[in-house]
Amino acid sequence: MATRTLIKNLAAAIDGPVSVCGWVETVRDQKRVQFVVLRDESGAVQLVHPRAFADDGTALEDPLAGSVSALTQGSFLTATGELTHDERVKLGGVEIRLDGLDVASAAIAETPIAADSNIDKRMDWRFLDLRRPEQNLI
């Protein structure tokens, strides 16, 4: 296994195998490709996993695609893959094509606070409330 690379150092790294750790910020599960935004203490990076299809257009069995689909916001994981520089990517111009995924801790999707909770309850559960970027301004 490759040594962990901080996300802020990926822009200066050369294309090739890389391993990053962090928390899942968002998952976009589309028909042909899956995207995960992974954040660590130094920044964020986009992970990409293209789905495999047979010649007749049916999706092939892919355990990595199932693992990506099961990710929840706030889960902690280690991702390994190929670092590629692409100026079209908005997150620092780099992305990682996934080869492997190791979920260290899956987050519970539902939090004990609702979107319309009062400020006292929000402050009691502040560490969970910060999972939603719009709450960072409180």
Tell me how far apart the alpha carbons of residues 32 and 15 are, in angstroms, rounded to a whole number. 24
pLDDT at 138: 64
Mention every residue, 6+ apart, whose C-beta is less than 8 A from residue 104.
21, 76, 77, 78
What pLDDT does 98 receive? 96
Residue 99, pLDDT > 90, answer yes
Domain 7-107 matching CATH 3.40.50.2300: the answer reads no
Domain ranges of the chain: 7-107, 109-138
The whole-number average pLDDT for the span 100-119 is 84
Output the pLDDT for position 129.
76
86, 94 Cβ separation under 8 angstroms: yes
124 or 138: which carries more pLDDT confidence?
124
What are 55's two structure tokens?
């010649």
**Alpha carbons 30 and 115: distance in angstroms, whole number:** 26
Q: For the whole model, what pTM was predicted? A: 0.79
CB 80 within 8 A of CB 100: yes
